[in-house]
Each structure stands twice: as structure tokens, then as C-alpha cells.
Amino acid sequence: MRGPLKTTHGAAPVALGLLIALYAVPGAQQPPAATPAPAAPAPAKPLVPVATNTVTAHPDAYYGLAVTINAAVEQILSKSAFSVDQRRVGAAADVKHDPTDVLVLVPTIQSPVELHAYVTVMGELVKFDPAEIARKAKDYKLDLPADVVAKYSGRPALLATSVINEKFVDLAKRLPPPLNAEEEAYQKVMRQVGPAFAALRPAVDGSNAETAGKNAAVLQKAFTDTEAFWKPKKAEPTLWAQNARKEVEAVQAAIAAGKWDEAKAHAATVGQACAQCHGAYRERFDDGSFRIKK
Ligand code: HEC
């Protein structure tokens, strides 16, 4: 059993989970003007604590809301889905006919829940329909058997962003995998590319040959390394890195010739390469760190 010390330690992850759930729920409405959400792209409505039997009795009142449910895992349905119920913990024999259980879908599930263990699940309550889930969770592949889909269709389901277990671990939180030596070196290169490119643009705009030249040199070397990293692995990012290097070299030539309009145009094209490659090969984790998309 867990002592009070563990509970104290657990408070932070739970609070964090709440925060993540609050900001991660899409389609949220504006909160009152007095409570702006700091540093969040879109303010979220507050989490509504609900009971499973309330939700199943009046689902229409909760669809589209960010809710939190504390209940026992009643049935494990797939790798990313389970049902919760507060009414009859562990009454497995009755499960099939139990109308008070709520389907929980966890697109970012990292480790499994335990049968009959208590969990706090947070996310948006939706009317279950595979097409609707596909729209709301773009990268998620629903992994339910057909009979389970049929059973829950048209019923309330929670599209969960957090699943806090009894050890206060959020099972839905995606943490970045450790870097190997090569990936670490790659990350160092990208961390040079960021500030160098940020400095290049205003230097070119201001016709500052010294600053522009210095940062272009950093980028030229960095994209040479980026290209070398990708070359044995994948053709597309190799080509994008190569193009970025060529554009940087064109910036360098334009600076040397004092052709600042040309330098500006080529610098802008370099910027497109960042977005192009990040869109396809960069992945952001819940803690804000980046990794190569596998
Ligand atoms: C050919 C692909 C590619 C190109 C081109 C590219 N990047 Fe990246 N970048 C990545 C990948 C993959 C990651 C994730 C790896 C990582 O961060 O460890 C990344 C990560 C980053 C990071 C985060 C580093 C960290 O982990 O803290 C920054 C900043 C960055 N890139 C800036 C840029 C800028 C600015 C440009 C354009 C001037 C650029 N990148 C061009 C592939 C690319």
C-alpha cells in the first residue's frame, strides 16, 4: 500500500495532468475574461468532474465538454481502450449488460491500465462513432474489435488525454525516448541551426555582412552535417538538407556580391526547408522536447 508520503509526491503529476488535460482538449470554449489561460494557445473550459452513471444517464449534457472521471477499470478492451464504471467494481459477469460503463479511448497510451484499478481519466466526452474519433484524433488508429465498436456506438466515450493511475503516474503522457550518440549529435546541430537562422534573417534584412556571413557559415556547416546524417537513412530529408545547404551557399554568394535582395530571397527559401523537414521528420513530445520522427 502507498503511504501518505507518496500521495504528497503524487500531487504534482496530478496537477500537471490536469493542466495538460485542460489545455489539450480541442474545441474548448472561452473561459470568463477574468481567468485567462497563461501561455496556452486556446483557453479551455474548466474540467467537469462527473460520475459514470450521470454521464450515461444524460450524455447529451456532457458531449463536447472536458470532463474528469475517477472510476475503476471495468474491462480492458484493447491496447488503447478500456471501460470504466463507478457502480459495480469488479462485477465482470454483468459487464456486457451494464449500461453505466463509459468507454475510454487513449490515443497516446504508454503503458496498460490494470483491471479493476482506480484511475482518473480526463479528456473530451464524445458520442462514440469511429468516424468522429478519426476526425478528433488524427494520428490515432482505433483498435477495437467490431463487436465492441457496435456495443459502444452512439454511447458516451471519453477521448482521454490523461490517465492517472493509483501511483499518480499519467499513463497517457508520452515521454521522449533516450537519444543515442548519433541522435544527440544531430540534436546539437539543430540547436545551432535554430539561433543561426534566427540571426541570419535580420542581418540580411539590415545588410549586415559580418553577422549575416558568420551565421550563414554556421548554417552551411550544419546542413552539411544534416545531409550526412540522413544520407544512409532516407532520401527525402537528405535532399531537403542538401537544398537548404545550397540555398545557404547562394545566400553566402549574394552577400559576397553585395546583392542583398537575392540574399533575402534565398534566406526565405532556407526557412521553407525547416518547415518542410520538421513537418515530416520531427516529433514533439508532451514535455516539449523534440525527437526524430520514426
Ligand atoms: C532535413 C531535415 C531538417 C531540416 C532541413 C531542418 N531540421 Fe530542424 N530538426 C529536424 C529534426 C528531425 C529535428 C528533431 C531532432 C531533435 O530535436 O533532436 C529537428 C529539431 C530542430 C530544433 C529543436 C532542437 C532541440 O531538440 O532542441 C530546432 C530549433 C530546429 N530543428 C531548427 C531548424 C531550423 C531553424 C531549420 C531551418 C533553418 C531546420 N531546423 C531545418 C530536421 C530538420
**Ligand 1 within 6 A of CB of 190:** yes
Instruction: Identify the band that residue 93 occupies on the pLDDT scale cut at 50, 70 and 90.
Output: low
Contact 62, 128 (CB under 8 A): no
| pLDDT tens digits along 48-91 | 999 999 999 999 999 999 999 999 999 999 999 999 998 755 45
Q: Is the pTM of this model over 0.95?
A: no
User: 30-45 burial, b for 16+ CB within 10 Å, e for fewer?
Assistant: eeeeeeeeeeeeebbe
Quote the cell numbers at residue 200.
541570419
Within 10 Å of residue 256's Cβ, how many Cβ atoms?
A: 11
**Ligand 1 within 6 A of CB of 282:** yes
CA quadruple 212, 215, 217, 223: dihedral sign: negative
Domains along the chain with CATH numbers: 4-164 (2.40.50.140), 181-292 (1.20.120.10)
pLDDT higher than threshold 50 for residue 12? no
Quote the cell numbers at residue 8.
504528497
Contact 76, 112 (CB under 8 A): yes
Query: What separation in Å is there between the alpha carbon of 183 and the centre of ligand 1?
Result: 12
**Ligand 1 within 6 A of CB of 239:** no
Question: Which carries the bigger pLDDT value, residue 195 or residue 95?
Answer: 195
Query: What separation in Å is there between the alpha carbon of 206 and the centre of ligand 1?
Result: 25
Mutate to test the pocket of ligand 1, among 234, 290, 294 (most ligand atoms within 8 A of CB): 290
Most distant CA atoms of the chain, gap in Å: 81
